[in-house]
Amino acid sequence: MTTETIDGVAVTTRANVYFDGKCVSHGITFPDGTKKSVGVILPASLTFSTGAPEIMECVAGACDYKLAGSDAWVRSEAGQKFSVPGNSKFEIRVADAYHYICHFG
Amino acid sequence: MTTETIDGVAVTTRANVYFDGKCVSHGITFPDGTKKSVGVILPASLTFSTGAPEIMECVAGACDYKLAGSDAWVRSEAGQKFSVPGNSKFEIRVADAYHYICHFG
């Protein structure tokens, strides 16, 4: 079951562009002030750093990820989530496209 | 005056990826059913085709565009808009990034 739309939010019109456009997201804010982002990672092997803890929810496509301190690459596909601790890192490999919702905290 | 956020909308979580990621957008739907998109064009020279008429509103960055049937390249920067007829085309050149809202109809 994937989350196809998120209702009743404010969207930030300016995109977040990371890694020369290999990752593009738009921020969304809920009425209670909660912030998330919706984005896509294009074919690439990237390393992301976290500030707050994050939950990455795949809404389409797929990726393989590896958390800091782990040697295991794990597949994540549409409808699946993975958690990343705060002040940490994760590696991600995308062959086609990985569409996601990033939940913070 | 740029439109920094758009309130009270539903955002489609899966991104639209065009031209190998040189253009990435997310669709938004207003409570009355009106659809728009928020997106970014990265450094590229692209030609877009329209179905419905479009108004392109720049919210950050800049582009140069040329409408079908015109020889004139025109600059569009943050806070500025340009209109494209339906069933037409326009060329766009972006040197850095062009963040936009696309209004249809």
The domains of chain A are located at: 16-39+51-104
String of DSSP letters for A18-56: EGGGTEEEEEEE-TTS-EEEEEEE-SEEEEEE-SS-EEE
- Tokens 């009270």 label which residue? B8
The minimum CA-CA distance between B103 and chain A, rounded to whole Å, is 13
Q: Exposed, middle or buried: residue A33 (CB in 10 Å: 0-12, 13-18, 19+)? A: exposed
Tokens of B100: 């936009």
Strand partners, B84: B54
The partner residue sitting opposite B60, judged by closest CB among A14, A28, A38, is A14
Amino acid A1: pLDDT: 77
Nearest of B72, A14, A22, B51 to residue B93 by alpha carbon: B72
Amino acid of residue A49: S
pLDDT of B1: 77
Interface of A with B (CB under 8 A): 2-15, 17, 20-22, 24, 26, 28-29, 38-40, 42, 59-60, 97, 99, 101
Contact B88, B50 (CB under 8 A): yes
Task: Determine the residue among B9, B14, B59 to mutate to test chain A binding: the one whose Cβ has the most chain A Cβ atoms within 10 Å.
Answer: B14
pLDDT on residue B57: 98
pLDDT of residue B103: 98
d(CA A101, CA A5): 10
User: Which CATH number is associated with domain A16-39+51-104?
Assistant: 2.60.120.10
pLDDT digits (tens, 9 = 90+) for A42-70: 999 999 999 999 999 999 999 999 999 99
- What kind of architecture, by CATH, is found in domain B23-36+52-105? Sandwich (2.60)
